[in-house]
Amino acid sequence: MNWQQLKKILAFYGRFTLSFTQVGYLARRVFWSKFVPDFRGQRWLVTGGSGGLGRQMVLEALRGGATVVAAARSEGKLAELRAEVEASGLTGLATECCDFTSTADTERLIERLVARGQRFDALMNNVGVLNDDLIVTSEGREASFVSNLLSHYQLTEALVAKQLIGNGSVVVNVTSGGGYNVPLMTGTMNVTDPKRYNGTVAYGFHKRAQMVLNQHWRDTYGARGIDFFVMHPGWADTAGVQRSLPRFRKILKSILRDAESGADTAIWLAAKRPPQPEEESVWFDRAVRTAHVYPHTRATRETPQSLVAWLEAELARGPR
């Protein structure tokens, strides 16, 4: 690591550590009024719903009276979730096994949902991973790109097209503060060359692209009465963080958020659906924040349209 990189890292952590950890959450919570979400009569779809923040969203939605479809990869973890929900006396959970690194598997999930014909009031595009080591899927794509971005696009577009999301629905996209470091650049995503792959950098680019995609969806589908929000959870101690960022977790463990404070803003947005500014922005701790902390991330030749065209081409291309 050279001096410039070290300076950047120190500046990032100096700026965000208090805010993104439980410290920031507890400090801000003092000023929030009491809020008991009421999701009765609603149907939710939560991707990555068997663990971490997604599991928390599933439980909060069930507690609020919604029926929920939790979609995740491991049937074993989904079975554990079903057992936990049953044991706690909650009802209304259905689960769907889907590997979101596979566009074919996501397509099969979409087909099952369409066959059932049940509309969703809330879609939580939560699934996301940071893979330190390069994983190339059987379809020839970089795995985290597919789970973090392409699957969100594929699923959301299909549900809108099939009118399973429509007037009155809300979509919450879960991004990360890591997206603050980089501009939108399609050329840096779906990197399958081991010499060029850097998991943390790739993750940042996916998370930036999610922010841009959210704005595109607002502009494209807002008139249909669908609300789109993009939020980041701060830093929460989940299995994902334990697996992908062990050193980060070791240092900050005592002050990391729990799943409840990490998922809080997503739940709050789904319940309140607050007005938001026209320009691109990100929600964090129940407030709207800038999408660009650093000026350099505004500097890109790419546009929401070029991102969408690139994602469309990627889906049209099919497996390599």
Ligand X SMILES: NC(=O)c1ccc[n+]([C@@H]2O[C@H](COP(=O)([O-])OP(=O)(O)OC[C@H]3O[C@@H](n4cnc5c(N)ncnc54)[C@H](OP(=O)(O)O)[C@@H]3O)[C@@H](O)[C@H]2O)c1
Site for ligand X in 239-278 (CB under 6 A): 239-241, 262
Nearer to ligand X, 56 or 67 (CB): 56
Number of neighbours of residue 35 by Cβ within 10 angstroms = 12
Tell me whether strands 170-174 and 67-72 are parallel, antiparallel or unpaired. unpaired
Q: Is 176 in the site for ligand X (CB under 6 A)?
A: yes
Find, among 238, 226, 217, 205, the residue nearest to 48 by Cα: 238
Nearer to ligand X, 127 or 291 (CB): 127
Give the shortest CB-278-to-ligand X separation in angstroms: 25
Nearer to ligand X, 50 or 67 (CB): 50
Q: Is 204 in the site for ligand X (CB under 6 A)?
A: no
Total of chain residues touching ligand X, rule CB under 6 A:
30
Q: Is 283 in the site for ligand X (CB under 6 A)?
A: no
DSSP class of residue 97 equals: E
> Of the ranges 28-36, 60-68, 97-105, 273-281, which one interacts with ligand X (CB under 6 A)?
97-105
Find, among 147, 119, 141, the residue nearest to 54 by Cα: 147
Nearer to ligand X, 15 or 306 (CB): 15
Q: Is 52 in the site for ligand X (CB under 6 A)?
A: yes
Binding mask 57-96 for ligand X (x = CB under 6 A): ---------------xxx--x-------------------
Nearer to ligand X, 29 or 243 (CB): 243
Give the shortest CB-73-to-ligand X separation in angstroms: 4
DSSP three-state, residue 99: coil
Distance in angstroms (rounded) separating the CA atoms of residues 98 and 73 = 5
Binding residue for ligand X, selected from 154, 188, 190, 238, defined by CB under 6 A: 238
Q: Is 152 in the site for ligand X (CB under 6 A)?
A: no
Site for ligand X in 112-141 (CB under 6 A): 126-129
SS (H, E, C) 259-275: HHHHHHHHHHHHHHCCC
DSSP class of residue 283 equals: E
- What DSSP element (H or E) covers 230? strand 227-231
Q: Which two tokens stand for residue 134?
A: 């390069």
Give the shortest CB-312-to-ligand X separation in angstroms: 21
Torsion of Cα atoms, 237 then 66 then 278 then 34, to 10°: -70
Q: Is 199 in the site for ligand X (CB under 6 A)?
A: no
Distance in angstroms (rounded) separating the CA atoms of residues 286 and 265 = 5
Find, among 61, 91, 172, 159, the residue nearest to 119 by Cα: 159
Q: State the residue for tokens 């014909």.
A: 117
> Of the ranges 189-197, 218-226, 235-243, 304-312, which one interacts with ligand X (CB under 6 A)?
235-243
Nearer to ligand X, 61 or 174 (CB): 174
Q: Is 24 in the site for ligand X (CB under 6 A)?
A: no
Give the shortest CB-288-to-ligand X separation in angstroms: 17
Q: Is 183 in the site for ligand X (CB under 6 A)?
A: no
Q: Is 50 in the site for ligand X (CB under 6 A)?
A: yes
Number of neighbours of residue 217 by Cβ within 10 angstroms = 24
Strand partners for 124: 46, 172
Whether the CB-CB separation of 277 and 286 falls below 8 Å is answered with: no
- What DSSP element (H or E) covers 227? strand 227-231
Footprint on this chain of ligand X (rule: CB under 6 A)? 48, 50-54, 72-74, 77, 98-101, 126-129, 147, 174, 176, 232-233, 235-236, 238-241, 262
